[in-house]
Structure 1
C-alpha cells in the first residue's frame, strides 16, 4: 500500500454500523477504507441474538431509544422498509419471531459473511488490528496516522471459530507494529460502545459511559438471604420500576433469579432505566388481576380447608418450592399474626426488590453514553464542531441505546447508511 494512500472515505470501526457506512459509500462510487482495531471486521455480530443475529425489528419505534427525537430525525418515516431493502441488496433473506428480525439461516456468521463478500466485490480496503494514532485537518480533508501490524498475523489453525479468534488475538498482541500515513476526504467514526480515544482525537464531546442491557443487582426487601434461595429459578412475571413511589416503567417477561439479583431480557431492558435505590415490583401472576387472584386464593382456601400462610406447602402447585418459602417469609415479616389471604395477594402482585445497580457488566450488550447527540447534525450525522473537514459519527459511538429486540442493530445499520448517504 502507498505510504500516504488517499481515500474518499475512511471509516473507523468495522462493526455493523461501519460496514453499512462503507458499503453505502462504495456503492455511491467512493473509494473506501475501514480501519478496525480487532483482528477482523464484523466479529461482534457473531454474538448477537445468541448467535442468530437479531438484525432488526419489524416495528422500529423511536420511543424505544434514549433520545427518541434525535433517532426519529435520523431514521426517517420508513426505517423498516429501508432496512429490508438493504438486507435484500446484501443477499440476506430474513425471517421474524414475535417481531424480531433474523437472517433466514438463523446463523450470525452468514450475515457477517454476506457483508464481507459485498465489501470484497466493491473493492473496500480493510485494515484490521489497527488503531488511529492521530488525525488532523489537511488541504483535502484529513491526514491520519495509524498503528498497524507490521506483517500478516500468523496463528494456529483450529476447527472452531472461537479458538481461531483467540489465537489470532494472541498473535495480534505479539506482532511487531508500524505506523502508516493515510489521507481521506471524509472520516466516519463507527467505533462502537467505547469511543473515548477517538472522540479525544477528533475533539468531540462525550457523555459518561456505563454498561447497560445486563443483569440487575438487587436485594429482596426485608430478606437479604432470599436471592440465594431463589438462585437459578425462572418465573414469568411483570416487572414494574418505581422511584419515589411513582411508576416509571413496566414490562412482562421471564425473570431469572440470581444470587446477586435478577436477569433475563425484560431485566436487561430494565437495566437501561434504573438508579440505585429504586424499587422493582415483581408480579408473579401478571395474567390475573388482584380481584381474580383473590378469588382463586379464596377457592383454594375452601379446597384445602383453610389458609396456612407460614407453611410453604400450602402454595404447592402454585409456585416453585423455593419461591413458596420466600413468599411465606415475606408474609410473616410484613403481616405477623395475620391469616388474611388478601395480604398474600399483595405479596404475589408486589414482590419488592431494592435496586443496587447493574451486574455482570463485562458481558453487557450495549454501552450507554458516547459522543453527545447535541454535537451532531440530523439527519446527516455530521459533527457540528468540525466545519472545514467532513466528519460523521454513527452507531454505538453516539450516545444512543435501545431495548433488546433488534433495536440497537437497527440503529447501527440505519445510522451507518445515513452518514454515508450524506457525503
Structure 2
C-alpha cells in the first residue's frame, strides 16, 4: 500500500519474483510524491551511502547491505533510468523528477503491476491465507491506473492536479474488498492511521529536514529580519551544554525566523531544546588570512569596529549590523565573534514543508533481513522509523527497503502456495 518510491520498488520486485501485485495509492496518481524531490530534479541516491548518515546506522547497514550503490545502479538500469552524479548526489540523467515517475510507471506496466489510485484503506482483517483489505474507492474515473500524462512522460500542471484532487474530495465512494496473501505498508511519513488499522506499534512522528528557527544569543530576533535572503559560505557547530556534538560546512541561507538551506536541514535532524549554534561567518578564510584582514582594518580604519562599514568587503551590510550589535553586547574579540557567532536554537521552522518525518514503526519490531512485521505483513520506506541527511540518503532507503520487502513478500507467497 502506497505508490511512492518504496511502494513502487516493492511492487516491481514482487512482480519480477512472480507475484501478482496491486498497488493501492490514496492520491489521484501514482508516484506524485517523487515530483517535488530535489527541487523537481529528484535526488535519487548518493554515491556513498554510509550508514552514519542515518538515524539508526546499524539498522541501515543491516537492511542496505555491503554495496547498496551497486544494487541501486542495477535497479535504475533495469527500469530504463540512466543516472548522473553531481558532487556525489545521484540524479536521473534528464534531471527531471517526472522522468523517474514515468520510468517506474512503465516498469509497472511491463511487469503487469495493477494500480489502484485515489483509494484509502479503511480496515484490514487477518485470515488464514492472508488479508482481507477494505478499501474506500471513489466512483468514476479515479480508479483508472496512472494518469495518462504521467505514463506518457508528460508532466501534468500543478493546477490541473489540484483540480483533480478537489474533484476527488467531492466524489461519491464505494467500499471494495481485496484479498491478498501479503501486504506491504509503504504509506510514507504519515502512518499513524495505517498502523492503527494493522494494530502496529507506532512512534509519534515529527518533521525533520526543515529550516531552523533561531536568533542571535542575547540580542533577540529584532535585527534578524533584514538578513532575509542572504546566502553565505559558512561552517556551523551544534553545541549542547556548551559541547560541540556536530559540525557541517556549506551554504547558509538566512530567513526572517532563522536559517535554512541544506546545512540547516541536516542540523534540524539533530537539534534539541536549549541547543546553540556557533556559526563561522568567514569559513572561506584561513585563520592566517582572517588575521591579516582584521589587522589591516584595525590599522587603516579604526582600532575596533565603531560602525558597520568597518566590515565592508568582509561581511554583507545587514550581517555587519548584527555582528556590530553583538560585539557591543558581548565585548568579545572580533575574530572570535565572526569565527563563532552564537545563535540560540528555538526549534524547527516551516515544518509543513519538511522533506521527511521521523517516527513510525519502530525498527525493533521489524525483521531487518526481510522487513517483515508479522506473518504476511511487511513495511518499507518512511513508514519505518529511519531518516537520514539530505543528499539522496532518504530515497536510497526507500528504494532499498522497498526491494527488500518486495522480494521477501513474493517469496513468502511462493512458499505458501501449493
Return the TM-score normalized by structure 1.
0.92
Give the alignment of 1:328-347 within 5 angstroms: 328-335=324-331, 343-347=333-337
The answer to whether residue 35 in structure 2 is matched with residue 39 in structure 1 is: no
- Alignment CA distance shift 1:159-1:45 (3 Å): closer
The answer to whether residue 90 in structure 2 is matched with residue 101 in structure 1 is: yes
- After TM superposition, give the deviation of residue 297 of structure 1 in Å: 1.1
Give the alignment of 1:132-281 within 5 angstroms: 132-153=121-142, 160-224=156-220, 225-281=222-278
The answer to whether residue 304 in structure 2 is matched with residue 314 in structure 1 is: no
For residues 66 and 307 of structure 1, what CA distance do their matches in structure 2 show? 48
For residues 253 and 288 of structure 1, what CA distance do their matches in structure 2 show? 14
- Alignment CA distance shift 1:203-1:325 (3 Å): same
For residues 159 and 273 of structure 1, what CA distance do their matches in structure 2 show? 36
For residues 338 and 188 of structure 2, what CA distance do their matches in structure 1 show? 41
For residues 109 and 157 of structure 2, what CA distance do their matches in structure 1 show? 21
- Alignment CA distance shift 1:191-1:305 (3 Å): closer
Q: Give the structure 2 partner of residue 9 of structure 1.
A: none
Q: Give the structure 2 partner of residue 122 of structure 1.
A: 111
For residues 125 and 379 of structure 1, what CA distance do their matches in structure 2 show? 27
Greater CA deviation, 284-293 or 205-214? Answer: 284-293
Q: Give the structure 2 partner of residue 414 of structure 1.
A: 400
Secondary structure of the structure 2 residue equivalent to 1:208: strand
- After TM superposition, give the deviation of residue 308 of structure 1 in Å: 3.6
- Alignment CA distance shift 1:159-1:288 (3 Å): closer
Secondary structure of the structure 2 residue equivalent to 1:275: coil
- Pairing partner for 1:359 from 344, 349, 354: 349
For residues 392 and 226 of structure 1, what CA distance do their matches in structure 2 show? 51
Equivalent pair of 1:290/1:349 in contact (CA under 8 Å): no
For residues 83 and 303 of structure 2, what CA distance do their matches in structure 1 show? 53
Q: Give the structure 2 partner of residue 3 of structure 1.
A: none
- After TM superposition, give the deviation of residue 277 of structure 1 in Å: 1.2
- After TM superposition, give the deviation of residue 183 of structure 1 in Å: 0.6
Q: Give the structure 1 partner of residue 414 of structure 2.
A: none
For residues 276 and 139 of structure 1, what CA distance do their matches in structure 2 show? 48
For residues 95 and 262 of structure 1, what CA distance do their matches in structure 2 show? 30
- Pairing partner for 1:19 from 8, 33, 36: 8
Secondary structure of the structure 1 residue equivalent to 2:207: strand
Superimposed CA distance per residue, residues 331-382 of structure 1 (whole angstroms, 9 cap, x where no aligned partner):
11111xxxxxx80001101111111110111110000111111100112111
Q: Give the structure 1 partner of residue 80 of structure 2.
A: 91
CA RMSD of aligned residues (A): 1.7
For residues 145 and 258 of structure 1, what CA distance do their matches in structure 2 show? 46
Q: Give the structure 2 partner of residue 324 of structure 1.
A: 320
- After TM superposition, give the deviation of residue 236 of structure 1 in Å: 1.0
- Alignment CA distance shift 1:105-1:132 (3 Å): same
Equivalent pair of 2:301/2:310 in contact (CA under 8 Å): no
- After TM superposition, give the deviation of residue 287 of structure 1 in Å: 3.1
- Pairing partner for 1:57 from 30, 36, 46: 46
- After TM superposition, give the deviation of residue 305 of structure 1 in Å: 4.8
Greater CA deviation, 12-21 or 163-172? Answer: 163-172
Return the TM-score normalized by structure 2.
0.93
- After TM superposition, give the deviation of residue 30 of structure 1 in Å: 0.6
Count of residues paired in the alignment: 400
Q: Give the structure 2 partner of residue 5 of structure 1.
A: none
- After TM superposition, give the deviation of residue 295 of structure 1 in Å: 3.2
For residues 187 and 372 of structure 2, what CA distance do their matches in structure 1 show? 15
For residues 231 and 244 of structure 1, what CA distance do their matches in structure 2 show? 29
Superimposed CA distance per residue, residues 278-329 of structure 1 (whole angstroms, 9 cap, x where no aligned partner):
0011101223344542233113323x15324121111111111111111111
- Alignment CA distance shift 1:24-1:137 (3 Å): same
Give the alignment of 1:369-408 within 5 angstroms: 369-383=359-373, 386=374, 389-408=375-394
Unaligned runs of 5+ in 1: 1-11, 336-341
- After TM superposition, give the deviation of residue 255 of structure 1 in Å: 1.1
Equivalent pair of 2:210/2:260 in contact (CA under 8 Å): yes
